[in-house]
Structures are given as structure tokens and as C-alpha cells.
Structure 1
Amino acid sequence: MSCGNPHDKDCVEVLDRVFDFIDNELKNADKDEIQHHLDECLPCLQKYDLERTVKALVARSCSEHAPETLREKVLMRIRTVQVEIHETRTE
């Protein structure tokens, strides 16, 4: 993706690092470069906003806990599959 405008940092490079930027996993100099690019590039800013929104929605959705009965069923199924795999390997 490219907006067609010249930037100090290429759009593709910015978008490749957007998750690191969102997660605050960049050095200050890198964060400043990405922020500067986003300040001047609307297409990248829109992509950043979309990714940040999706990440926030997923995080909010993942905070719920499954019912204990479901957890027990899943663990039982995992154990069953493990036994089946073990039996297949020993035959």
C-alpha cells in the first residue's frame, strides 16, 4: 500500500510495524518516525485506526471466561485425543 506521496518512511514499512506501534513495542525514535508518518498520511492513519479498533474489540471480547462445564468437556476431549494418538503410535 502506498498513498503516492513521498515520506521519510515508506507506507509499507510503516504498516509492517503498525502492530508494534499499537503495542508500544518500539524504541522512541522508531515510534516518533511512525507517528510522524501517520500524522501526514491519511491512508496509513486509517489503516492504523482500523487495526487499533479491531485489536481493542478482540481484547474486550477475550476477557470473558468460558463456563466451567465447557472447560471440562474440552479437557476431556483433549485427553481422549491424546490417548488415541498414543495408542496409534504404539501399535
Structure 2
Amino acid sequence: MSQHVHAHGPAESEGCADYLERIVYFLDNELDEADCSAVQAHLDECGPCLEKYDLQRTVKTVVARSCSEAAPEALRARVLLQIREVQVRITEG
């Protein structure tokens, strides 16, 4: 019996759960070569997982684009000052 189930339903979620967990690591290039190959092969054969992968990739791209802006220096200085004040209160408390 093939591990690749193409129909929607409980069998798909059981067979695909492991791959769906690994998609985030796959996107971040945090899998070894064997795992990358296995995930890629699964995505090539499983439309629902490929859709979820595309969605995760899109979200990651949008977040990365949004995070590329640097905070203004005055804001950074205020945040760092507040962090230091909290650290002092913690160490004194």
C-alpha cells in the first residue's frame, strides 16, 4: 500500500502528517539530504500537501519582507532602555 494518498479524508491526514510537520524545516533548509528528497518526492505526488507547502512558503516570504525594515534608532534606544530597566528590576528583586 502506498504512503501517498491523494484523496481528501482521514487517510490523507494520517499519511501526510509527518510530511506536514517537516515542511517548515524543509522551507528553512534544516533537513538532511535524505529528508529533503523524501519531502520533495511527497510534494511532487500529493496535491493537498503541495498546496499547504505553497501557503507556508508564501506566508514566510511575506513575513520576511515585512521584517526587513529596521526600526527607527530612537525607538530602538527606547526599547533597549526598557529591557535594561526590566533586567535591573529582576536582578534586584
| TM-score normalised per structure 2 | 0.77
- State how far apart, in whole Å, the 2-side matches of 1:63 and 1:32 are: 30
2:63 aligns with one of 40, 58, 69? 58
Aligned to 2:86: 81
In the alignment, does 2:63 pair up with 1:38? no
Q: State which structure, 1 or 2, has the greater radius of gyration over its C-alpha atoms.
A: 1
Offset of 1:54 from its aligned partner? 0.7
Q: Which amino acid aligns with 1:56?
A: T
- State how far apart, in whole Å, the 2-side matches of 1:57 and 1:43 are: 21
Deviations, residues 6-50 of structure 1 (Å, cap 9, x unaligned): 78xx30010010012112222333222211211121111111001
Aligned to 1:27: 32
Q: Which runs of 5+ in 1 are unaligned?
A: none
In the alignment, does 2:72 pair up with 1:67? yes
CA contact (8 A) 1:14 1:34 kept: yes
Moved over 3 A (4+): 2-7
The percent of aligned pairs where both chains have the same amino acid is 58
Q: Which amino acid aligns with 1:80?
A: E
